[in-house]
Amino acid sequence: MKVKYRGCKFSDLSPIVQELIITRALCKYPEDVPYFIEHWDSQLLINEEHEVLALETWIVRDKYVTVAHLPGGICPIWYPLDILEITDHSLRPDWEVSYDMDAAGYLVIKRITFPEWAHNDSFLGNLIDENDDEFVVYMRKLREYNIRSL
């Protein structure tokens, strides 16, 4: 699957997505949240195509937010799917789907990606924490898929 960034201002994002980005800023740059908000999309170039490593559904205050994880340096970087244009809908043959139940008891797609991540809720957190096992898998998948990171 491939996507292009359409370009948008932070103020154009939905309040839920703004909240997610501010939360990400607080985790990474607590001393400089305004700068991070101003440059939240700095790693994306308008109309440049990017490979998607995973699609994930997040439930935030009873609202569904679909995010696309794009290749980053040592770990993927998530962006809300609604700011991206899907240019290639095909999924990799080795990708798998994992499911979850929402608060109302409905089955929802949780994640679509390679098996090591699809069925491991700790994969991304462990990768962010620089766990060797997840890092080896992530780097192997980048090489296998012939993807350069952002």
pLDDT at 127: 87
- Please write the tens of the pLDDT for every residue from 82-106: 888 999 999 999 999 999 988 788 8
Structure tokens at 53: 């490593």
Q: Where are the domains of the chain?
A: 2-144
Burial zone of 29 (CB within 10 Å; 0-12 exposed, 13-18 middle, 19+ buried): middle
Q: Model-level pTM greater than 0.85?
A: no
How would DSSP label each residue in 14-39?
A: -HHHHHHHHHHHHHH-GGGHHHHHHT
Task: Report, as ranges of residue numbers, the positions in the chain whose pLDDT lies below 50.
Answer: none
